[in-house]
Each structure stands twice: as structure tokens, then as C-alpha cells.
Structure 1
Amino acid sequence: MAEAYTYILECKDGSLYTGWTNDLTRRVKAHNEGRGAKYTRSHRPVHLVYFESFATKEEALAREAAIKKLTRAAKLALIDTAEEKKL
């Protein structure tokens, strides 16, 4: 079974969009071409600012639901924490 990803995209207006996918590269490209979620169609371009990898779709969906409940400040803190771990 393919990996599943939970992601956060930042839109050109600074808004954040959370989703899940099996193909992260294709999903970001689709959002930038206007084939992504209805919300991001009018807020292009978008860029990937956060993602997590999961073994199953169900795990990714559960994490997406948890992230969607976070406030903007908490999402930004999550992004900052992930960036610090990369360094």
C-alpha cells in the first residue's frame, strides 16, 4: 500500500489550507493549476509548508482532522517546529 500524506499549503494571501493525499507532488501541482480544493483555486499560487507521512490513508485522515481543528497560531507553531527538525 502506498504512503499517505497530511499537508499544509500556504496560499498567496497567507492563508493556510490542510489536506491529505497519496501523491504530494501531484497534489501541490494540481492546487497551483486550479484543480485543487475549491478554496485554493482563488488563492493561488500555493506552496507546501508542512507535511507528514503515514502508512495508511486512515492515519493521514485522522491527522488532517486534528490539524484542521488547530488555530492559525498553532498551525504556524507546528510548521516552525517541523522546520527546526529539518535543520
Structure 2
Amino acid sequence: MKFVYILESLDGEHFYAGSTDDVPARLTKHNAGEVPHTSKFRPWRLKTYVAFNGAKLAFAFERYLKSGSGRAFAKKRL
């Protein structure tokens, strides 16, 4: 299983989308500052995640969430 997740910083202004095999472990890494892209906006909370059977579909959805229309979709619907 591959998971695509959306994190929200506790300030409510920053969001991050990513993919992983283990959501709780990945969230721990984000909050520990081990991910350079998200370290300056800590702490993070898990907003939502979606499970996929295949990695290809998961990466396509992650890429979509990082696009302009994907961000708008996530803010409005997720």
C-alpha cells in the first residue's frame, strides 16, 4: 500500500502533500525536522491521507495535489 498524505502546520497557513508506506513514521520525521522542506514550519498535524494499491497512481495523485488546481481541490474538499 502507498499512502498520499496532506499535512497542515499548526499555524494553519502551510500545507504539504507527500507519499509514503508508513504515515505515522513519516509524520514523526516531519515533526522532528528531518525533512528539509518542512522543517521550518513545524509542528505539523495530519490533515488527511488516501490509500492506493499501486505506487504509480499514488505518485500521480501526489503530483496533482502539488499543482495549482490540486491545491485548490485539497483546500476545498479535503
TM-score by length of structure 2 reads 0.86
For residues 18-64 of structure 1, give each alpha carbon's deviation from its aligned partner in whole angstroms, at most 9, with x where no partner exists. Answer: 1000111100011000112x221000000110110001211110100
- Which residue matches 1:56? 54
> Which consecutive segments of 4 or more residues in structure 1 shift more than 6 A?
none
* 1:34-53 pair list within 5 angstroms: 34-36=33-35, 38-53=36-51
Alignment of 1:32 with 2:31, yes or no, is: yes
RMSD: 1.4
Q: Which structure has the bigger radius of gyration?
A: 1
User: Do the aligned residues in 1 keep the contact of 2:3 with 2:23 (CA within 8 Å)?
Assistant: yes
Unaligned runs of 5+ in 1: 80-87
Distance 2:15 2:62 in 1: 13
Identity among equivalent pairs (%): 33
TM-score by length of structure 1 reads 0.78
Cα 1:71/1:22, change in 2 over 3 Å: closer
How many residues get paired? 76
